[in-house]
Amino acid sequence: MTKAAASPVLSLPRADPDLHGLDAAAVQAFVRAADAQQLKLHSLMIVRHGHVLAEGWWQPYAADIPHTVFSVSKSFTASAIGLAEAESLLSTSEPVLDFFPRLARDRLQSGASSLTLEHLLTMATGHAEDTMAIMRALPGRDWVEVFFEVPLVYPAGTHFLYNSGASFVLSAALQARAGVTLDEYVRSRLLEPLGIRAPAWAASPHGISLGASGLRLRTEDLAKFGLLYLQGGWFGGSQVLPEDWVARATALHVATRSEAADWAQGYGYQFWRSTHDSYRADGAYGQFSLVLPEQDAVIAITAGNRDNWRIPPVVWEHLLPGFHPDTGAGGRENGLGRDLRSLAIPAPGFRPDPPAREAALTGQTVTVEPNVLGIRAIRMEAEPGAMVMTLTFADGSTESTPAGRAEWLPGSTALWPYDEPADPRIASCAGWTDETTLEVHQQCIGTAFRRVWQFRFGDGDDVSISVGLDMAYWHDRTEVIGGLMQPG
């Protein structure tokens, strides 16, 4: 494998879609369908023949803001294993226990000694439940040891179970053999050659990169990663990944079952096979780097959709027919650029006029009961075209964020709905849903999530406040806080 290029490609070349066989009308139809079906997309980038032909971000999301990509991280972890194998640091056929000699083998589950790195890569470890949830519930424990304590129900290699704990153990194995974290290992070998400048990879309480999740990438980073695989590991004038690894990682290794067609095509090395002879790096809530070899194309998407299985069928229905032989001359006016620049997440549907109760809020502070958010008081102030919410925390510090009436206003917050590193930027919108209920929606830019504050005002000074997310996740919760409105 040749050395990576000294001057990485920081930005992919752009071109007119006509020049590379992409029908602009197909892209426009996809965007319309995505919005009509409420797929909750945050970004879209289409690459063909190595050129970006269409790109757009649903404001307030933007090109330069890294987005949490969840399990797309797994495909980067697998790539690191491929690089380490090329450097003769390890072999995918090695027993996993060889990387962790400290583990007392006589205390481990029967069958543990037969597990290899390939079983971890293909999610065929023999577990009947995802071990990551158990790991996260035991932050003080050695997570690798926890992984091996969970019962192995099936013989290794015979049963597919999506197991994020397996991806974490891949990260731990690499760190044990390479002497550096997965995050450190991939930066010079994978990220820098692709011109990716990602924030730090989230880590376990013991400093091991999560492997299963924890990466934050720009949409173009997702596209570059897909392009690297589409090009057989070649990028920016160098062979970044071994070509044979790319073929192995994206091949079918284990069968999968699902009612969703694109989740029933089988699994490779931390890559999903998809319909139409394609494959993808795939993250929760609609993070995709979708590789279409027959079309020589990559489609990168970020989103905030709990039902992410709904997104690929719309891609196949509208975008796939848009690829055709390169016969266009380019330069035709089709309105695509204008349409993609005008994308935006719609503001919530609030009442057009605030109730009389709103005027009484100015100058009032809601003192709240002790809560896990550490908030002591909340003050809402009405302004022309906006409302400003000021939080006072238990330590006396405050945080004020403006919320537009019919538009998203930028701000920042120290309160985040996800426990991996994130940018503090938010965009907020506020309004009344009825005479007694005020809501503040905060789109957490850089994540898939939206936090929703709901204030229900009683007949007297009582206020009930709920704070939650518009999507459920295993560690999410809706906090309900009792409050009392008083001057000050």
In the predicted model, is pLDDT for residue 4 greater than 80?
A: no
User: Residues 383, 408: one domain?
Assistant: yes
Task: Note whether 35 and 347 are within 8 A (CB).
Answer: no
Closest CA to 34 of 15, 56, 14, 51: 56
**Using CB atoms within 10 A of its CB, is residue 93 exposed (0-12), middle (13-18) or buried (19+)?**
exposed
For residue 409, pLDDT beyond 70 = yes
341, 368, 384 — which closes off a domain?
A: 341
Q: pLDDT tens for residues 105-144?
A: 766 777 899 999 999 999 999 999 999 999 999 999 999 9
The DSSP code sequence of 328-376 is: --S----SHHHHHHT-BPPPP---SS--THHHHHTTEEEEE---TT-EE
> Is 190 in the same domain as 82?
yes
Domain final residue, candidates 341, 376, 399: 341
- Please tell me the predicted confidence (pLDDT) of residue 484: 66
410-437 pLDDT per residue, tens? 999 888 655 555 678 999 999 999 999 9
Q: In a 10 Å sphere around its CB, with 0-12 CB exposed, 13-18 middle and 19+ buried, how is residue 53 labelled?
A: buried
Asked whether residue 179 falls in the same domain as residue 249, the answer is yes
Let me know whether 328 and 414 are in one domain: no
Please give the average per-residue pLDDT across 283-293, as a whole number. Answer: 97
> What pLDDT is attached to residue 474?
42
271 lies in a domain? yes
Q: Which domain holds residue 264?
A: 17-86+167-341
> Which pLDDT score is estimated for 5?
43
Domain check: are 270 and 324 in the same one?
yes
Instruction: Note whether 276 and 372 are same-domain residues.
Output: no
Q: What is the pLDDT of residue 357?
A: 85
In a domain, 240, yes or no: yes
Same-domain status, 324 and 176: yes
Domain boundary among the residues 307, 341, 375 is at: 341
CB atoms within 10 A of CB 315: 25
If asked whether residues 317 and 439 sit together in one domain, one would say: no
Question: Residues 236, 311: one domain?
Answer: yes
**What total number of domains does the chain contain?**
2
Identify whether 348 is part of a domain.
no
Find the mean pLDDT for residues 184-208: 96
Name the strand (E) or helix (H) holding 485.
Answer: strand 479-487
CATH number of the domain at 53, please. 3.40.710.10
Name residue 427's amino acid: A
